[in-house]
Amino acid sequence: MTDQSIAENGAPTHDVGHTLNPEFIDKVCAALEGDDRAGVSDLLVKLHAADQADLLGLLRPSHRRHLIRLMGDILHPDVLSDVEEDIRDELVEVMADEHLANAVSELETDDAVHLVEDLDEARREEVLGLVSEGDRAAVEFGLTHGDETAGRLMQREVVSAPEYWTVGQTLKYIHSSADLPRRFFEIFVVDARSHPVGTIVTSTLMREDPDTVLEDIMQTKQTLIPASMDEEDVAYLFDQYHLISAAVVDEFDRIIGMITVDDIVGIVRQAASEDMLALAGVREEEALSDSVIETTRLRFSWLFINLMTAITASLVIAVFEDTIQEIVALAVLMPIVASMGGNAGTQTLSVAVRALATKDLTATNALRIIYRETLVGGVNGVLFAILMGTIGGLWFDRFEIGLVLGLAMIINMILAGLAGILVPLGLDRAGIDPAVSSTVFVTTVTDIVGFFVFLGLATLMLIG
């Protein structure tokens, strides 16, 4: 390769100071356009597998496909687990079956399952037919579990030892076995029925006397993950109990695999990204590499829903058309009420969705949080009512307009706080992801209530 050192995963150790700057990208593109395999190889060897994955994401689709055709046999398999999902699907289409099979054999089970799960049945059979029986069995076992569950997330490779073994026997097994995971943090101690009964951190194992029996040094407290558990619930357990790894068990409590913290980091990042995109009305499958037509298609439906809610708010305004014609100042001021309510509701909504995701907001403390958010809305409403009421009264030289504006501000911000907490709570209770649907409900409530309260109070107090 070169005189660079090789990391344990087979990828070259990378220079921390190296970045995928425009000059580097241009060199890669120039080498690709000249079909310079040696030149591309010299550039790729400087990159860690994760950086190679980023490079693929930065290239144009034509360059990306050409890179795979030219260099697919030397890209490290970890690239396929690090790259964005839409780009991985694109790459898999142009990769030879032999290269895919090599990646399946080299990757840990969870990454291998993720790689082949979206292949059509015929091609999956072709690829799995090129790997060893053991690797094929492990991947097919992973595919039997539901999507986004611990069983799909786990890796089959796990270090387990019977409780009656000694430290010496365990170390000999670790040194001689070829089927162990590339990296592991603890040994799972099992009984005769393969039930996990304890764990031993690898550093503890290395320091103990070779004749010490595992049962005497194992920690009996452990967190076991059912294979059917949702992966986001698994991530919560890792965060809650500061886990490095955990055993996955079947319905009979037999150990069938393990999950490590590096798997969880990806789940946490993905969940956070999904929630952030969902709150903005952007679907999780949208990516920077999508075409204009595809991006437009993904965003249109949500924008259409927002159009319908905007029309509904406009119908409320139309009810008070005569009032607005008589007091034109109302047309100037009413967006302020709706906007402030919308922003206040969004603030509460963001906090509530995050608290639900982290399980900090539950049925136990829901009433207290509802009371707090209502009170916060009321206090902010009074403060901004004083501010905007004074400004509105002085602006149009009518005390009554300032009073109407202030009262509407208080009412709408109280209701905004209530909507911001009650809507996600209600959706969560109904089994609907609050990150996906809450925004449109909350903004609709604040807009309609804001316009109705402000114009209704104006009709009663200024005209009626």
Break the chain into its structural domains and give their ranges: 22-150, 160-279, 292-463
Question: So what's the pLDDT on residue 12?
Answer: 43
pLDDT of 457 > 50? The answer is: yes
Residue 439 CB neighbours (<10 A): 24
| Better-predicted residue by pLDDT, 365 or 74 | 365
CATH superfamily of 292-463: SLC41 divalent cation transporters, integral membrane domain (1.10.357.20)
22-150 and 160-279, same CATH topology: no
Q: Quickly state the pLDDT bin for 387 (edges 50, 70, 90).
A: very high
pLDDT tens column, 247-264: 999 999 999 999 999 888
pLDDT tens column, 190-249: 999 999 999 999 999 999 999 999 999 999 999 999 999 999 899 889 988 999 999 999
- Taking the C-alpha atoms of residue 392 and residue 255, their distance in angstroms, rounded to an integer, is 69
Q: In what order do the strands lie in the sheet with 245-249?
A: 225-226, 245-249, 255-260
Quickly name the fold that domain 22-150 has.
MgtE N-terminal fold (1.25.60)
* Mean pLDDT of all residues in 103-119: 86
pLDDT of 2 > 60? The answer is: no
Radius of gyration of the chain (CA): 29
pLDDT of 449 > 80? The answer is: yes
Give this prediction's pTM.
0.65
Domain 160-279 has CATH 3.30.70.1400: no
- Lowest-confidence range among 29-38, 123-132, 263-272? 263-272
Per the CB < 8 A criterion, the answer to whether 444 and 308 are in contact is no
